[in-house]
Amino acid sequence: MRKRKKNDSAGEGAYWMDTYGDMVTLLLTFFVLLFSFSTIDAAKWMELANALSGTPVMSIAPLSATEVNAPAIDGQENGEDPALTPEPSPSSSQNAMNAMQMAEIKQKFSELYEKIKQHIETNGLQDKLNVEMQDNAILMTMNETALFDSGSAELKPSAKEMLPAICDILKQYDSLIRWIRIEGHTDNVPIQNSQYKDNWDLSSARSLSVLHYVVLQNLDATKLSQTGYGEYHPVADNGTEEGKARNRRVDFKIESILED
């Protein structure tokens, strides 16, 4: 009679393990199905969750539809958030008002130009001052002979008599002025003066002298600035004496609040 091998007995024992595993799986599936049809006791569920987590759990009763509405606050009705409510677009009347305001500013700024121009003509200053209207700006040019002696940055007495009247006109329209830039210019002839290194120094010193003086006339200092351009922003040909004379100047660039 043939002897049974040891590994045969081990194989027979493995069969009942498969059957047992299938049975346990079926039982687990059955209990899960029963649990899905059952009704959970909220109180017991909270006790179970508390026991497992170690942290007290507070239950909150659901709100009814009538309890959701919060009291309205300023600018908020029916519980709506004003931050999420789109703002109405400007009406045609508001746009028209803005356009009217801009037109009024342009008109008054043109009045400033006309007053400066009339002042120049009335006082016979055409050989000393020139003014022109630009886009949202007025350019007023003072030639060198009206302000300084040759090679000097000290204002002449005649300039100190001329500038206050101009400043008085500017102060009348201060609310319309955004910026007043005082710019010094020279011709291309090298400076022959130990006091100034070059034309940059001379043009800067001249614009600074004018700035200091107009500040004394109570112009708004926060709207004033000065700079020197030397010989590098000519308005005429430096090849002629007449052109050089035109290039030696101090410009007042008066910008409107509409310049932005």
pLDDT tens sequence across 21-57: 888 888 878 777 776 666 666 666 666 666 655 555 5
Radius of gyration of the chain (CA): 45
Average pLDDT over residues 242-260: 94
Q: Please tell me whether residues 204 and 112 are part of one structural domain.
A: yes
Q: What is the DSSP letter of 70?
A: P
Q: Please tell me whether residues 222 and 111 are part of one structural domain.
A: yes
Residue 89 pLDDT greater than 80, yes or no: no
Average pLDDT over residues 66-82: 52
Q: Please tell me whether residues 128 and 235 are part of one structural domain.
A: yes
Q: Please tell me whether residues 243 and 181 are part of one structural domain.
A: yes
Q: Please tell me whether residues 213 and 123 are part of one structural domain.
A: yes
Q: Of 93-107, 147-161, 166-180, 236-250, which range is least confident?
A: 93-107
Average pLDDT across the chain, whole number: 82
Find the domain containing 19 and state its range. 8-55
Q: Which of 226, 232, 249 is nearest to 198 (CA)?
A: 232
pLDDT value of position 93: 46
**Is 60 domain-assigned?**
no
Q: Please tell me whether residues 159 and 250 are part of one structural domain.
A: yes
Give the C-alpha separation, 101 to 109, whole Å: 12
pLDDT value of position 24: 83
**Is 134 domain-assigned?**
yes
Average pLDDT over residues 163-169: 97
Q: Please tell me whether residues 168 and 39 are part of one structural domain.
A: no
Q: Domains in the chain: how many in total?
A: 2
**Is 122 domain-assigned?**
yes
**Is 75 domain-assigned?**
no
